[in-house]
Structure 1
Amino acid sequence: MQESIGPDIADGAARAARHRFRRGSAFAGGLLLIYFTFISFIGFAPQLAGALLQPGLSVALLLGVAVILFMCVLSFAYAATTNADDRAIAELER
């Protein structure tokens, strides 16, 4: 036998789902923007991207590492905010 949930819980869960979708879309859009900007930079300015800062270290390599680190930070931020939503939904269910 399944219990029905109250209207307050259903409304709060629906709000949380919409909020999570918007935030997820914003994070995904940010990731895509950063990646496409980096790839466009490599494609449209190869001389600048290939410029050496030091022997063995080009601008593209440095920016590539920065992109990867930034993506890790964004991923951790998304996970932290999503976990906070999960805790809020769990509180609504109590």
Structure 2
Amino acid sequence: MTKTFDKVAAIIVEWSDVEIDSIGPDSHLVEDLKLDSVDLFDVVFALEREFDIELPIEEWGEEREGQEPIQAPELFMKNFCERIDNLVAQKSAA
């Protein structure tokens, strides 16, 4: 796994009742890990502090108009971590 994946998984464990062994690259934050909206926002805020970025979680729901937000592909761990890596790289390049 990547460093980002490991950090994200550790923060999920810290801010929720999820066991580390249940988190994999194909885990969906809501459907598989059962993060409710409060857990998800706690995790997002912790990740924003950890990586010094702003995750556009509200936009992800808007981009999927007519689709349930929990179905958003951005909420699969591998996609979520890739998005974090991209945001960190963009910030470093600026």
Q: TM-score normalised to the size of structure 2?
A: 0.30
More strand by percentage: 1
More helix by percentage: 1
